[in-house]
Amino acid sequence: MRVLGVDPGLTRCGVGIVEVAPNRRARLVHVTVVRTPADMALEQRLLRIADGIAAEIDEHRPDAVAVERVFAQANVRTVMGTAQAAGLALHAAAARGLPVGLHTPSEVKAAVTGYGNADKRQVQTMIARVLGLDEAPKPADAADALALAVCHAWRLGSPDAVGTRVTNLTPAQRAWRDAQGGTVDSPLVRAAAAAAGRAPRGSSASSVAGRRLGA
């Protein structure tokens, strides 16, 4: 299962692609950040971001696209730019017939760290471990895009899958979901539970304690 994640933004738009096996082991395919200068005309900034996202999709051919769900915040100017960039990602995916998953920052944090209020450094550290990297990609937008992609892949086969209906699944996605067998907890959640001396529901304490981060 190959997923392309987009962390939308006007100045920096993170784009990360991962491949995730049915056992949830993930590997990095590619990551980049599409940048636009603040003094560039808005329409030109949007065009550059749209072209950048489209190029990554066409080159890496993901099975699905994951985009951060835009939420309201005090800085209206910032949220408007984020929403515009997110719309470009949604358009690019829809134009190519790709299913899209929208995930809030809390959902992504919970998926990769087991804690919905984790800070950016914790997310970066965990995504590096999940992907077997010596250090997290920089800037943070790149790591966030990869976290979005991993979150979507891990949630795709679970009962509360976000943004993807069964009727929209590609053959590759259906095979991945069926092989996954409906497991809903991430390896990092299992590792965190083991460290706390408790086993997640449906798992034995010995199997949790013996599993490595990112496995």
Confirm whether 7 is a catalytic residue.
yes
Which of the residues 56, 63, 107, 141 is marked catalytic? 141
Sign of the torsion formed by the C-alpha atoms of 88, 54, 97 and 109: negative
In angstroms, rounded to a whole number, what is the distance separating the alpha carbons of residues 186 and 104?
17
Q: Which residue, 31, 66, 56, is CA-closest to 149?
A: 66
Which of the residues 56, 63, 68, 185 is marked catalytic? 68
Which of the residues 7, 56, 63, 185 is marked catalytic? 7
Q: Which residue has the tokens 């392309």?
A: 4
Residues 6+ apart with CB under 8 A from 35: 11, 12, 13
Confirm whether 119 is a catalytic residue.
no
User: Which sequence positions are flagged as catalytic?
Assistant: 7, 68, 141
